[in-house]
Amino acid sequence: MQIKEVTDYLESIAPLELQESYDNCGLIVGDTRWEVQGVLVCLDVTEAIVEEAMELGANLIIAHHPVIFQGLKRLTGQNFIQRTVMQALRNDIAIYAIHTNLDNTLLNGVNDKIAQLIGLTDIQALQPKPSFIADKNGMDPKLVGTGLIGYLPSPMAPIRFLHQIKERMAVPCLKYTALPQHKIKKIALCGGAGGFLLKQAIASGSELFLSSDFKYHEYFKADGKIIIADIGHFESERYTIDVLFDLISKKFRTFASHYTKCNTNPIQYL
């Protein structure tokens, strides 16, 4: 089976047309005609991830974050990105990224997984996008959008819900703004850095916005209208690996699929 069959399948779920303009999704290193010997699924691609793929006999790495994001002008091994790409090329290992196109896919996407973990129902896109994508068969309807809105099965005290998030998502540290006295039910979320969606979350009537990477002054913008819950970038996206592993392992049986054992979070907690 060629790499193209795997990437075509992934792109039927998260079409490349759904990626943001700044992104770099798709096959980054390698050749779509290579035969797949094994797949390693991860969040970030580092030298350790390439070494893990080599040890496992996997020649296709499927990652959420693109290892080449802003472009490369040289390959001289001066930083981890260059070294990672060089190492992959030397060992005939392909690297594929499925980033904001998966973020913008409502079902089987990053935010859908978070919603399942924290117990939300009746999900819809926080910032909907055009719902038709052109594919080989014509126009294919897709439930797409940035971020997500969902509902708790029954209203919960905010602090209790924050503890539920912390437990179910295995979060070592959670930052949040002032909590109201009343219970909450309507929740907005966005995996990764979602500060740009705060206005939409407030406008939607959501009572809590779960995301990451808020800057200090952005917390003031909650202004008593919504609770901001910041769980960290890696923590908000780590379960994307589960999404990708399940999709690949259930679809393809002709090669081994592996879930990375490397923790690529660059942030340590004390």
Q: 10-31, pLDDT tens digit by residue?
A: 999 999 999 999 999 999 999 9
CA distance 203 to 196: 13
Pick from 139, 64, 63, 147: nearest CA to 106: 147
Give percent of the chain with pLDDT exceeding 90.
Answer: 90
Q: Which residues contact 214 (CB under 8 A, 6 or more apart)?
A: 175, 195, 228, 230
The per-residue pLDDT for 199 is 97
What CATH number belongs to 104-236?
A: 3.40.1390.30
Cα(153)–Cα(162) distance, rounded to whole angstroms? 15
Query: What pLDDT does residue 148 have?
Result: 96
Does residue 139 surpass a pLDDT of 80? no
Is the per-residue pLDDT at 134 higher than 80? no
Q: What is the pLDDT of residue 121?
A: 96
- Sign for the CA dihedral angle at 150, 153, 157, 161 comes to negative
Write down the pLDDT at residue 197: 97
**Is the CATH code 3.30.360.10 the one for domain 3-101?**
no
Q: Which residues contact 253 (CB under 8 A, 6 or more apart)?
A: none
| pLDDT classification of 270: cutoffs 50, 70, 90 | confident
**Over the chain, what is the mean pLDDT?**
94
> What token pair was written down for 41?
């699924």
**What pLDDT shows up at residue 131?**
63
The 8-class DSSP code of residue 180 comes to P
Residue 101 has pLDDT above 60, yes or no: yes
Q: What is the tens place of the pLDDT at every residue in 185-224?
A: 999 999 999 999 999 999 999 999 999 999 999 999 999 9
User: In this structure, what are the phi and psi dihedrals at residue 121, rounded to the nearest 5 degrees?
Assistant: -125, 170
For residue 264, the tally of other CB atoms under 10 A from its CB is 17
pLDDT digits (tens, 9 = 90+) for 48-89: 999 999 999 999 999 999 999 988 889 999 999 999 999 999
Flag whether pLDDT at 158 surpasses 60. yes
Confidence band (pLDDT; 50, 70, 90) for 109?
confident
Return the pLDDT at 129: 86
Lowest mean pLDDT among 32-36, 106-110, 175-179, 210-214: 106-110
The CA distance from 70 to 242, in Å, is 27
| Residue scoring higher pLDDT (19 or 137) | 19
3-state helix, strand, coil in the chain (%, to 5): 35, 25, 40
Closest CA relative to residue 187, chosen from 214, 205, 212: 205
Give this prediction's pTM: 0.93
The CA dihedral of 86, 89, 93, 96, to the nearest 10 degrees, is 70
The model's pLDDT over 245-266, given as tens digits with 9 standing for 90+, comes to: 999 999 999 999 999 999 999 9
- pLDDT at residue number 203: 98
Buried b (16+ CB within 10 A) or exposed e, 23-42: bbbbbbbbeeebebbebbbb
Q: Is the CA virtual torsion 46, 52, 58, 62 positive or negative?
A: negative
For residue 137, pLDDT over 90 is answered with no
Instruction: Answer with the residue of higher pLDDT: 202 or 138.
Output: 202
Look at residues 233, 227, 229, 132 and name the one whose alpha carbon lies nearest to residue 175.
229
- If pLDDT is split at 50, 70 and 90, which confidence band does 150 have? very high
Q: Where in the chain is the domain with CATH 3.40.1390.30?
A: 3-101, 104-236
